[in-house]
Amino acid sequence: MKKEQRKRIVDRHRDSLLRHGYHPNALYWSSREIQELRFEVLAGIGIKSGDALLDVGCGFGDFKRWFERQGGELKYTGIDLSPDLLAEAEKRHPDAEFLCGDLFDMDFAEQSFDWVILSGALNEQLGDKGKYARRVIKRMFALCRKGVAFNLLDARHLNAHDLQSHQPEEMLAWCRGLCPDATLHDAYLKNDFTIHMRR
Ligand SMILES: C[S@@+](CC[C@H](N)C(=O)[O-])C[C@H]1O[C@@H](n2cnc3c(N)ncnc32)[C@H](O)[C@@H]1O
């Protein structure tokens, strides 16, 4: 990702945090319900209490909060480009690890986590036809022991020039090249789809 693209993401989230405070709107989610519906579909891959999980583009670490409210616990690591969101995440989750940067700034060993998830962190338009997104997904898969779950915007229903959307079937076929057990989930929201990749 280019330096100016990274800066744009960091600046946008600093402004939205100032405007909205600790609220899903600061993450550009329209509501808590929509944010948590995505979490539910991601967790449907089979994430269990006690699992070690890496959340890429974790924002406030709200996936951990949601999972705990379902009665589970996670060995949770979150990474995000935004130091402002991470400062809030650290306050709320002193028992978790948070790292600032993108996945390629980190030197995690392969298969360091049971699960690697991502929600909403590949929606920025980078003008590269999804190349960065595919690099991130490939790296996420290298880092997991059990599997990867991520969501993307659905190009069949959304074509906003400032957002990166993807054709679900094309992305699924590409993921199956990495992992034969990849499945598509697209019946929960019109503009969004999720892929599960199980090792
Ligand atoms: C829509 S928010 C979602 C946050 C969180 N996943 C959630 O659902 O509550 C997207 C997050 O991804 C982060 N982000 C965007 N691109 C990123 C990248 N390449 N690497 C790490 N974080 C990124 C943003 O800073 C932001 O916190």
pLDDT in tens, 116-151: 999 999 999 998 999 999 999 999 999 999 999 999
What is the atom index within ligand 1 of the atom nearest the CA of 85?
27
C-alpha count within 13 angstroms, C-beta hemisphere, residue 15: 7
Q: What's the start-to-end Cα distance of the chain, in Å?
A: 27
Mean pLDDT in residue range 3-28:
96
How far is 102 from 48, CA to CA, in rounded Å? Answer: 25
DSSP 105: G
Whether 161 shows a pLDDT value over 80: the answer reads no
Domain boundaries, given as residue ranges, for the chain: 3-198
The amino acid that residue 152 corresponds to is L
Q: Which CATH superfamily is domain 3-198 in?
A: Vaccinia Virus protein VP39 (3.40.50.150)
Tell me if the pTM is above 0.75.
yes
Q: Quick one: residue 56, left, alpha or beta (phi over 0 = left, psi -120 to 50 = alpha)?
A: beta
Distance from the CA of 89 to the center of ligand 1, in angstroms?
12
- Regarding the beta carbon of 192 and ligand 1, being less than 6 Å apart is answered no
Residue of 2, 3, 9, 62 to test ligand 1 pocket, by largest number of atoms within 8 Å of CB:
9
Angstrom distance (rounded) from CA 4 to CA 104: 16
